[in-house]
Amino acid sequence: MSGIDRALLRGMTRARMSRRGLLAAAGAAAAGAALSGCGVGGQGGPAPESEDFWAGKESNGELGFANWPLYMDADRTQLKEFTEATGITVDYDEAVQENHSFFGKIQPKLAKGESIGYDLMVLSTGIELAKLVELGYLAPLDHDKLPNFADYAGSTYQDPGYDPGNRFTVPYTSGITGIAYNPEYVDREITGIADLWRPEFEGKVGMMADPQEIANFGLLLNGTAPADSTEEDWEKAADRLKEQRDKGIVRRYYQQDYIQPLTNGDVWLSMAWSGDVFQQNAEEGAGLEFIVPEEGATLWSDLMMIPATAANPVDALMLMDFLYEPDVAAGLCEYINYIPPVPEVQNILKEKAAEASGDEKAFLEDLVGSPLVFPTEDDYSQLHNYVPLSVEQEETFSPLFLSVTQS
Amino acid sequence: MTDERRPRLTARAAPYLLVAPAWLWLAVFFVVPIATVLSMSLMSGNLYDGYSLTWEFGNYAAAVGAYWEQIARSLVYGACATVLCILIGYPCAYWIAFRGGAYKNAYLLLLLLPMFVSFVLRTISWKALLADQGIILGTLKGIGLLPEDAYVLNSAPAVVFGLAYNFLPFMVLPVYAVLERMDHRVVEAARDLYAGPVRAFTRVVLPMSLPGVFAGVIMTFIPTSADYVNATVLGGAHNTMVGKVIENQYLVNNAYPMAASITFVLMAVLLVGIFGYARALGTDRVMEASAR
């Protein structure tokens, strides 16, 4: 496909919604579907050992892949390349719109040990991941079959705190949860999380509804690293967040739809995901500013994983590794605009920018130069991992922070 | 002989056969889910160990204790939206029924036209219309009728308004159905007996249309109280309705028994409310008239 076609395609296929996000419509529909799928299951067990799991398993020439909307171009370029290279066909489905509703949908089947119809799926770092691991629903990865991951994944993404040794997951793409503001309305410099608590922004601050996202900001404001936090820290963080809410500073707790209100001026500053801000600026000239707060911010990843009940795990593992080939990863990044787990992508896109012309050149230059897509080492040093939660902790954690957002 | 019998047998079975699909439908899609949710509400356990039926009535106390505020708020929002629907919908139905003339159907179609668009999309479109610098508020601020920092989106009025907007046809249609059937000569008779227009309305038209209003109230109050889309899309930091709480309990906390008990608390409150309301209006008369 020629470069110009791709740029055109981007213009046409980029609906005005965030890449990770979705319309509330899709969320509502998914919630309905998830509710109807709720069972009385449970009964998890430890995951099998890697050798046991993979013994006797072979490629079947097909696989099902569940991913987030707008996480691959409409032509599914990378999947076509994969099919060309391996002969394996991929049934791609933008089935994941929210971590919790997707988890609700697949949990009953996983509990019964049935295939969920997907062999590869992308879910975020967070509570649902902990649940999947704890319940033994994920296949342990065979790293002998993931040479590209070993060779090309950035050091931040290898052996991360949320999944030691990448036992079950490898990142698909990552992003920073920081603060975005609209300089058209905000006339002071925004430097940190504390700015989200300023009384002068009453009714103009957007926060996220996700319990873990909001907890991280509360913890960082109190000077606690999320990964080292205790239950007492959580309560203090929740108190700070409730104080912010009850003073009328918070306009709304957003699921994913904060970027348009921010552009329109309904909220002036908001918790935000790096890639959303980059896209909104690149495509609508929104002129939004994004900062990594001085108190720190979190680096999240959307992770590829294989359900333990997958019918085609070998094919899934092959695709996983294929997506770590630098050229393939570069193609993905060009479309997604979030942080690729393969640092080499920056050089590849730089070369591509040098050869390109016109709009595409400008776009690629923005992309490779953006700290939102390619954070520097300094940026990385300011970024925290998510709170790793055990089963018992999770039972306190979610309700505590839900009590902040569902008032 | 047999020729005579056969049709008679069929005739006797016919009503049952005709009603069978409805019963089957209700059994599969109402009775079974309700029973499942009811038993779920009395379970205890967690996602990891599974849930078992332990007749945990404490779930209900916990549900009311933790979420009475959201439940009460849902009822208040539902009631406000219903009243708004009556205030807007009744005159609308009245006008179409009595003044619509040859274009009655066209007016009804206009009323229903927005319903052809998805419920959620209709609600989302109000986000653009009610935006702080949007077409409505931006204009009012521009001419100085509103202070610069005023907003409607993400507030209680926005949610109530959204509810009323989305459920208005459910109020208009039953009221219209009753008014349209009304014998207009009774109004003339009232006027002949020296009733002014206001008196003729309050003493004749209004009482006769109450069954329609009753049906309309049921069809708006119950779904608006249980709705969660409007509060989610148009609400702010202090407007969570009980539907959202139930969703979060199911999907974020995976606390299925808790979610089920809140569901039943809401159902019980709504049932009691509706029966009380029917009582106050005179159940028999109203139910009978609604069914007519």
pLDDT tens figures, A167-183? 999 999 999 999 999 99
Question: Where does residue B24 rank: exposed (0-12), middle (13-18), buried (19+ CB within 10 A)?
Answer: exposed
Of A32, A302, A98, which is closest to residue B252 (Cα–Cα)?
A98
Which of the four pLDDT bands, split at 50, 70 and 90, describes residue A374? very high
Position B12 in a domain: no
Whether A370 maps to a domain, the answer reads no
Evaluate whether residue B203 is within a structural domain. Answer: yes
Q: Which residues of A touch B227 (CB under 8 A)?
A: none
Mean pLDDT of A337-358: 95
B245 touches chain A (CB under 8 A): yes
Q: How far apart are CA A296 and CA A220, in angstroms?
A: 6
Residue A127: its pLDDT value, please? 87
In terms of pLDDT, which residue wins out, A208 or B275? A208
Contact: B151, A266; criterion CB under 8 Å: yes
Task: With a cut of 80, say whether residue B9 has pLDDT above it.
Answer: no
Total domains, chain B: 1
Rounded to 5 degrees, φ, ψ at A300 are -105, 160
In a domain, A150, yes or no: yes
Collapse the DSSP code of A330 into the 3-class scheme (helix H, G, I; strand E, B; otherwise coil) and give the result. Answer: helix
Q: What is the rounded CA–CA span in Å between residue B232 and residue B239? A: 8
Percent of chain A with pLDDT over 70: 88
* For residues B189-213, average pLDDT: 92
User: Domain holding B76: CATH number?
Assistant: 1.10.3720.10
* Whether residue A186 is found in the same domain as residue A222: yes
- Claim to verify: residue A183 and residue A287 sit in the same structural domain: yes
* pLDDT band per the 50, 70, 90 thresholds, residue A61: very high
Q: Do the domain assignments include residue B89?
A: yes
Q: CB–CB of B253 and A398 under 8 A?
A: yes
Q: Answer whether residue A45 shows pLDDT above 80.
A: no
Asked whether residue B116 is domain-assigned, the answer is: yes
Q: How far apart are the first and last CA of chain A?
A: 50
Q: Is residue A100 part of a domain?
A: yes
Is B26 exposed, middle or buried (CB count within 10 Å of its CB: 0-12, 13-18, 19+)?
A: exposed
Query: How many structural domains compose chain A?
Result: 2
Is the predicted pLDDT of residue B171 greater than 80, yes or no? yes
pLDDT by residue (tens digit) across B241-264? 999 999 999 888 888 999 999 999
Q: Does B149 touch chain A (CB under 8 A)?
A: yes
| A32 lies within 8 A of chain B by CB | no
Average pLDDT, chain A: 87
Instruction: Please report whether residue A147 resides in a domain.
Output: yes
Q: Do A38 and B45 touch (CB under 8 A)?
A: no
98-127 in chain B: CB under 8 A from chain A: 118, 120-121, 124, 127
What are the CA-CA distances from residue A61 to residues A51, A82, A367 (Å)?
21, 11, 35
pLDDT level of residue B275 (50, 70, 90 thresholds): confident
Q: What is the pLDDT of residue B7?
A: 64
pLDDT at A35 over 90: no
Residue A156 has pLDDT above 80, yes or no: yes
Taking an 8 Å cut-off on Cβ atoms, the answer to whether B250 and A211 are in contact is no
- Is the pLDDT assigned to residue A104 strictly greater than 90? no
Could you tell me how far CA B195 lies from the centroid of its own chain? Answer: 35
Statement to judge: residues A9 and A73 lie in one domain: yes
Q: Is the minimum CB–CB distance between B256 and chain A shorter than 8 Å?
A: yes
d(C-alpha B228, C-alpha A269), whole Å: 26
Name the DSSP letter for residue A143: G
Residues A123 and A98 in one domain: yes
pLDDT of residue A194: 97
Residue B57 lies in a domain: no
Q: Are B75 and B242 in contact (CB under 8 A)?
A: no
pLDDT value of position A23: 38
Residue A37 has pLDDT above 50, yes or no: no
- For the segment B146-152, the average pLDDT, to the nearest whole number, is 88
Whole-number pLDDT of residue A6: 39
Pairing relationship of beta strands A89-93 and A62-66 according to DSSP bridges: parallel
Higher-scoring residue by pLDDT: B191, A48: B191
Does residue A254 contact residue A214 with C-beta atoms inside 8 Å?
Answer: no
A30 confidence band (pLDDT: 50, 70, 90):
very low
Evaluate if residue B130 carries a pLDDT over 60: yes
Phi, psi of A394, rounded to the nearest 5 degrees: -60, -35
For A359-392, letters b (16+ CB in 10 Å) and e give ebbebbebbbebebbbbeeebeebbbbbbbbeee
d(CA A129, CA A103): 9
Q: Which residue of A25, A398, A405 is in closest CB contact with B120?
A: A25
> A101 CB contacts (<8 Å, ≥6 apart)?
A27, A30, A31, A33, A34, B251
CATH number at residue A140: 3.40.190.10
Q: What is the pLDDT of residue B280?
A: 83
Instruction: Reply yes or no on whether the pLDDT at A236 is more than 70.
Output: yes
Same domain, A274 and A305: no
B134 and chain A in contact, CB less than 8 A? yes
ipTM over 0.90: no
Q: Does A46 touch chain B (CB under 8 A)?
A: no
Q: Give the number of residues written for chain A.
A: 407
pLDDT given at position A29: 40
Which one of A17, A406, A407 makes the best mutation probe of the B interface by having the most chain B beta carbons within 10 Å?
Answer: A406
Would you say residue A354 lies in a domain?
no
Alpha carbon of B26: minimum distance to chain A alpha carbons (Å): 16
Same domain, A17 and A132: yes
Q: Which residue of B has its CA nearest to A391?
A: B48
In this predicted structure, the answer to whether residue B49 has a pLDDT above a threshold of 90 is no
Asked whether residue B212 carries a pLDDT value surpassing 80, the answer given is yes
Domain boundaries, position A24 = 3-175+301-343
- Does residue B158 surpass a pLDDT of 90? yes
Q: How confident is the model at residue B252, as a pLDDT?
A: 85
For residue A330, being part of any structural domain is answered with yes
Same domain assignment for residues A295 and A305: no
Residues A51 and A144 in one domain: yes
Q: How far is B235 from chain A (nearest CA, A)?
A: 7
Residue in B48, B237, B238 nearest the CB of A134: B48
pLDDT tens string A240-294:
999 999 999 999 999 888 999 999 999 999 999 999 999 899 888 889 999 999 9
Instruction: Give pLDDT tens digits for A117-128.
Output: 999 999 999 889
Closest CA to A95 of A38, A9, A141, A33: A33
Q: Which residue has the tokens 């990863």?
A: A329
Task: Identify the residue among B159, B241, B254, B256 best suited for mutation to test binding to A, counting A beta carbons within 10 A and taking the highest.
Answer: B254
Cα separation, B122 vs B114, in Å, equals 8
B181 within domain boundaries: yes
Span B26-32, average pLDDT: 93
Residue B34 lies in a domain: no
Contacts of A68 by beta carbon, 8 Å cutoff, 6+ apart: A19, A20, A94, A96, A97, A122, A302
The fraction of chain B above a pLDDT of 70, given in percent, is 94
- Residues B20, B11: Cα–Cα separation, whole Å: 15
A137 and A276 co-located in one domain: no
**pLDDT reading at B281 higher than 70:** yes
B248 falls within a domain: yes
CA–CA distance, B216 with B222 (Å, rounded to integer): 10
Task: List the structure tokens of A187.
Answer: 């006339």
Phi, psi of A305 (to 5 degrees): -150, 160
Calculate mean pLDDT across residues A137-162.
94
Whether B45 shows a pLDDT value over 90: the answer reads no
Query: Residues with Cβ < 8 Å from A189, sequence gap 6 or more?
Result: none
Whether A64 and A142 share a structural domain: yes
Residue A171 near residue A303 (C-beta atoms within 8 A): yes
Cβ-nearest to A265 among B120, B121, B133: B133
Residue with tokens 């193609």: A331
Q: Find the domain containing B278 and state its range.
A: 67-291
In chain A, % helix, strand, coil (3-state, to 5) comes to 50, 15, 40
- Cα(B39)–Cα(B57) distance, rounded to whole angstroms? 11
Instruction: Indicate whether A135 and A24 sit together in one domain.
Output: yes
Instruction: Tell me, yes or no, whether A331 and A263 share the same domain.
Output: no
Looking at residue A231, its amino acid is: E
- Asked if residue A38 belongs to a domain, the reply is yes
